[in-house]
Chain A
Amino acid sequence: MSAPTTIFRRPEALRDAFTHYCPGCTHGIIHRLVAETLDELGLRERTIGIAPVGCSVLCYNYFNCDMQEAAHGRAPALATGVKRVLPDRIVFTYQGDGDLASIGTAEIIHAANRGEKFTTIFVNNAIYGMTGGQMAPTTMPNQVTTTCPRGRDVNTAGWPIPVADVLAQLRTPAYIERVAVHTPRYTVQAKRAIRQAFQYQAENRCYSFVEVLSTCPTNWGKTPNESVQWLEDVMVPYFKLGLKKSPDRPPVE
C-alpha cells in the first residue's frame, strides 16, 4: 500500500486553536477562506489584519498573522493608518454588519471612497451576534430580534442596507462582490472572490471588499440546517450575490 498523502490540512495562516464560534456559525468557514488565500498568495508574513468588535473580535486567536483589534466600527480607520505608513504590506479588515454597516458606516464609506489599498471581509449575518441578537441595519424585513420583537418594521427601521451595492455606487475604482458560504457551491465562489480581493491588493490596484452572507443559528433561533435554508430563502433573494464592481471594468462615461 502506498504512503498516505495529505489532501486537506489547516492552512498555515490559521492557528491550531479551539473555536469559540457556535455550532453552525459560518464565521469559521470565512476565516478558513481568508487563511487559504494568504497561504496561496504567500502573503501571511507581510499581512496585518484588523479585528472588529463583534463575535469575530477574537479572530486574532485564529489568524496566524499580525493583528490589531479596533474599536467598534473603526477597523477601516485603523487599516488606513497601517496601510499609509506601511504601503508595501497587506492589510485587511474583518467586520460584522453591526460594526461595518451601523456604527462604522462613515469609516467604511470614506475608506472605500479614498480608494485605500486594503481588503475588507464583511460578514453579514443580519443580526448583532455578540451582544445577543439585536436588530442590525441588515436585519431582514419582519425578522424577529430582541430589539424588534414584532419583527423589523421597515416603516420605522428602514430596509436592510445592501452595503456592497451601496459602496459600488462610488466613482472611485474598487473590487466589490457579494458571496455566500452556506453550501459548498457558494463557498467555492466565495473563495474565488476573496482570493481576487487580496490579489488586487497585492497588485496595489484598488480597495477591495467582499460581503459574505453568514449564518447565526444561535441568535436566529434556528438549527444549523434551518439557518442554511433561511439564508437561502430569505437573505439571498434580497442581498443579490455577484460582482458589483471591478477595477477591470471601469464605469462607462
Chain B
Amino acid sequence: MPKKLMKGNEAIGEAAIVAGAQAYFCYPITPQTEIAEYLAKRMPEVGGVFVQAESELAASQMIFGAAAAGARVFTTSSSPGISLMGEAMSYITAAELPAVFINIIRCGPGLGGILPSQGDYLQAVKGAGHGDYKLLVLAPSTIQEAVDLTIEAFRLADKYLNPVMLIGDGLIGQMMEPVDFESCVKPPRLDCSAWATTGCAGREPHIVKTLFLDPNVLEERNRRLKAKYERMAREEIRFETYGCDPPPDLLFAAYGTTARVVRTAVDRLREEGASVGLFRPISVFPFPDDALRQVAHQPQVHNVLVVEMSMGQMLEDVQSALQGRRPLHFYGRGGGNVPAPEELIDEAKKLLGNGHGGKK
C-alpha cells in the first residue's frame, strides 16, 4: 500500500484497527468525533465491536469490562470527556488491565473551545482520576507518528497491564498528512488466560477487582504499580533532539504540534547563524529528564525556552529535570491559538542577544 493522505483522526482509527483492537466504546466530542465516525464504519468490517455509549463515564467503564474479559480495547475523547474518564482510568489501572485512551486535546478550562491546546498535559501525566496511579503517556507530533504510537500504545498496554494514553492537540486530529501503514507491526495477542473473566470452565473462577481492605495487601499493590512506573522510566523513554550537535546556545523544549512550529523557528534562526536547538519529549510519562539534562547541562547551553499551547504545564517537568541549573524561560499560547514561528524567533532573539548565540 502506498502512502495514503489521511486526516489525523481517521489515521488514528485505522491504526487501532491495524493494532488489532477488538472493541471501541465512545461518546462524541469535537475535535475527535471523526475517530468515532470512522470506526462506526470500520469496526464492523473487521468483526470488531463499536458502541456509542451514553457518556464518557460509561464508555470508559465499558472498556474496563471488555478489557477484564480479555479483549484489546480502546476509547478516544477530548478534554471534557477525558475528565469523566478519570474514574475508569483509576479503576483500570488498579485492576491492572491493558487499555488505550486517546485524548485529542481542546482548549479549556470548562467547555473552553474546540481549538487545539496542550492544556491537559498535567491531567495526563499526573492523573485525571483518584489514587496512586499513572498512565504511560505518549505525545506524537505528526500523523505518521500518531499512527505508529497508537499501535505502540496497544503493545505497551499489554506489556505493563496498565492503560496507555496518547495525547494529541487538536491539530493532530484535524491535519491531513501522508501516512504509511505498511511498516506497522501488529502487536502479538496478549495471553490473558491467567486472569481474564471468560467463564470458569475447567479452572477456578477469576475475579477482577480493585477493593483491598487490608492495608498491607493494598500497599503491596501500590508498590507493584510503582515498580511498573520505574520500569517504564528505564525502558520506555522516547525523545528527539534537533540541532543539538554541537550543543546550542539556546535550547527549546516542546512536544506535539508545538515542536513542529519550534522546528521551523529553529531552521530559520540557524539560517541566520543563531545557535539554537530543540529537545522534543515523545514519552511525557515517563518524562525523559535524564536525556534532557544531558543536553541542557552542557556548558555551551545558556538558556532553555519551553514552548507550549498552555500556560505552562510541561514546564513543571522541565523545571524539575533541570534542577535550576539553567535559566528557564517560557512562551505559551492559549485559547486555541497556535504560536507562529515568528513569535518564537522573536522570543529566541531576546535570549540570544544581538550576537545570535554564543558570542555575548
Contacts and interface: CB of A to CB of B under 8 A. Distances in A.
Interface stretch (B4-12, B195-203, B323-331): B195-203
A45 B49 contact: no
Interface residues of B, number: 39
Interface string B50-79: 010111011101111111111101000000
Contacts, number: 134
A240 interface: no
A167 B27 CA distance: 23
Contact of A85 (B54, B57, B69, B206): B69
A46 interface: yes
B22 A77 contact: no
B23 A68 contact: no
A85 B61 contact: no
Contact of B54 (A58, A70, A84, A106): A106
B6 to A, nearest CB: 27
Contacts of B88: 71, 74
B199 A68 contact: no
Contacts of B66: 81-82, 84-85
A57 interface: yes
B201 A45 contact: yes
A50 interface: yes
A69 interface: yes
Contacts of B180: none
A27 B88 CA distance: 27
Most B-side CB within 10 Å, residue of A66, A89, A107: A66
B123 interface: no
A48 B197 contact: yes
Nearest to B51: A84
A106 B197 contact: no
Q: Could you say which interface size class chain A belongs to?
A: 35 or more
Contact of A68 (B25, B68, B200): B68
A66 B207 CA distance: 6
Interface string B180-211: 00000000000000000111111001111111
A51 B64 CA distance: 13
A153 B94 CA distance: 39
A89 B201 CA distance: 11
Interface in A1-52: 44-48, 50-51
B62 A110 contact: no
Interface string B22-61: 1101000000000000000000000001010111011101
A86 B66 CA distance: 8
A74 B61 contact: yes
A57 B211 contact: yes
Contact of A86 (B57, B62, B69, B206): B69
B22 A85 contact: yes
A78 B64 contact: yes
Contacts of A144: none
Contacts of A44: 200
A48 B62 contact: no
B198 A81 contact: no
B65 A68 contact: yes
A180 B210 CA distance: 31
B269 to A, nearest CB: 50
Interface string A51-94: 10000011010011111111100101111111011100110000
Given A45-B200, A71-B88, A81-B25, A65 B65 contact: no
B317 interface: no
B68 A45 contact: no
Contact of B67 (A70, A81, A84): A81
A58 B207 CA distance: 11
Interface string A109-142: 1100010000000000000000000000000000
Contacts of B209: 51, 60, 67-69
B205 A69 contact: no
A230 B76 CA distance: 48
Nearest to A44: B200
Contact of A70 (B61, B69, B205): B61
Most A-side CB within 10 Å, residue of B66, B70, B73, B206: B66
Given A67-B208, A85-B23, A80 B55 contact: no
Closest 4 CB pairs of A and B: A81-B65, A78-B65, A81-B66, A77-B61
16 contacts: A44-B200, A58-B211, A60-B205, A60-B209, A65-B199, A66-B206, A68-B207, A71-B64, A74-B57, A74-B88, A81-B61, A81-B68, A82-B68, A84-B62, A110-B58, A114-B51
Interface of A: 44-48, 50-51, 57-58, 60, 63-71, 74, 76-82, 84-86, 89-90, 106-107, 109-110, 114
Interface of B: 22-23, 25, 49, 51, 53-55, 57-59, 61-71, 73, 87-88, 91, 197-202, 205-211
Given A74-B88, A82-B69, 14 more contacts: A46-B199, A60-B205, A65-B200, A66-B199, A70-B65, A74-B87, A80-B62, A80-B65, A81-B62, A82-B197, A90-B199, A107-B54, A110-B53, A110-B58
